[in-house]
Amino acid sequence: MKRFKVIAVIVAILFLLAACGKSGPSGIKKVYYPDWWQIQDSPDYVQVYGMATKVSQTTSYDAAHANAMLQAAQYVEIYVKGMVKNYEEEAGVNDPQVLALTSKVVKEVSNAKFENVLVTKQETIITEENRFQTFVRVSVPKDAINKNTLNKIRNEEALYNQFKASQAFDELEIEVEKYDK
């Protein structure tokens, strides 16, 4: 009987420890995305995605749509400028303090024009902070993206041809000046 009581106490302690134990990693929360997020399911469209969290439902939708359109424009062309600055200073003689600062700046600029763009999915939720979070999927016809890309290539080619013609004209002027002297 004494052996039974000892086993019962051990089992009770094990149950108590198991009940007090943590279930899964603490403090980690999964970020919500709709089940259609980042899925390319149409062969005729490039689907781009935007997300925004705002106090107003309308501004949340507008910002999410703008973010999606920016992503579409970045498919065609993007200009990126970046800068990183590192600064470190040591002050003091006996016990010096090191002050360090690193700053990073990135600027992206895109420019594109699209036709027949459709918002094909949209979902708005209310967050724990009582804000509206909107997810938008915008479908851009692949023909529009190809047209934009082709126009960019043609413009670059035209600029290059104009540059070469200008160079040739400059060389011709130099040759004419040689004969005028």
Given this model, what pLDDT does residue 168 score? 64
Dist CA 47 CA 64 (whole Å)? 14
Q: Which of 104, 3, 127 is nearest to 57 (CA)?
A: 127
Dist CA 115 CA 132 (whole Å)? 29
Confirm or reject CATH 3.30.110 for domain 34-77+112-173, answering yes or no.
yes
Q: Which two tokens stand for residue 111?
A: 């420019």
Q: Which two tokens stand for residue 71?
A: 């992503």
Dist CA 118 CA 173 (whole Å)? 54
Q: In what order do the strands lie in the sheet with 132-141?
A: 45-54, 132-141, 118-126
Dist CA 166 CA 171 (whole Å)? 9
Other C-beta atoms closer than 10 Å to the C-beta of 110 total 16
Dist CA 39 CA 139 (whole Å)? 11
Q: Output the pTM of the full model.
A: 0.56
Q: Where residue 58 falls among pLDDT bands split at 50, 70, 90?
A: very high
Report which of residues 36 and 104 the model is more confident about. Answer: 36
Q: What is the pLDDT of residues 133-178, one digit of tens each?
A: 999 999 988 877 777 667 767 766 666 666 666 666 666 677 667 7
Domain boundaries, the chain: 34-77+112-173
Rounded to an integer, the average pLDDT of 68-91 is: 79
Contacts of 156 (CB under 8 A, 6+ apart): none
Q: Which two tokens stand for residue 156?
A: 């670059």
